[in-house]
Amino acid sequence: MFKKISRYKLPLAIGIVWLFHLSALIGISLGYQSWFVPKTPLNLLVCSALFIFIFPLTSSKKILVFSAIFVIGMLVEWLGVTYGFFFGNYVYGSNFGPKLNGVPYLIGVNWALLTFITAAITPYFSKVVWLRIPGGALLMLVLDYLMEYSAPLLDFWTFEGGYAGLDNYIAWFALALIFQTLWHSAKISGSKTYSLHFFLAQFVFFGFLFLYL
């Protein structure tokens, strides 16, 4: 029985990821934004739990790298929110869950999660490690670019003046490069299939909102 469940865990996890993202997408496009958007923390928590189970995040090395990216991400975001460093002047809204000094815990999780899934899928594009690092950082930057345009309307975060400036994208890419270097230096591996579907689900979701909103 356990073997049967284990056999289907990957397609089941992928199905749940797409179900959550597409349901939210359809709901928002039909005008139910006020119901779906506040569920963002739940969506990210479910996808993170599935990632931990499927990737899997089990070895001490993986946990250490994930934790390090979480902590650094939280620290950099705190410096950004408090002093305007790196990204510009911005504040987080109410739809990313509980905060620590103005920074949602899920933002730290998101930094680590995006690093892992983008780094894991870079072998699809290149066999050369030194090309995978900027490649993974670029994938992270693409998602950030799409997210920035819908973030204020979804009450995720808001920049002074309305939208993020060039300094935000430069800082994002630089930090993503650091995280990608850390990931590849640790020689981590995991489920490329789950990582690819999670990235594509995020890309489709925020890409649609980029065009729709």
pTM summary value: 0.91
**pLDDT (tens digit, 9 = 90+) per residue, 33-60?**
888 888 888 888 899 899 999 999 989 9
pLDDT for position 210: 86
pLDDT for position 5: 47
pLDDT for position 213: 67
Domain boundaries, the chain: 2-212
Helix, strand, coil shares of the chain, percent, nearest 5, are: 75, 5, 20
Q: Are strands 99-100 and 103-104 parallel, antiparallel or unpaired?
A: antiparallel
Q: 100 - beta bridge partners?
A: 103
CA–CA dist 4, 22 (Å, integer): 27
Three-state DSSP class for 103? strand
Give the residue-averaged pLDDT of 198-204. 95
Percent of the chain with pLDDT over 70: 96
* More confident site: 144 or 163: 144
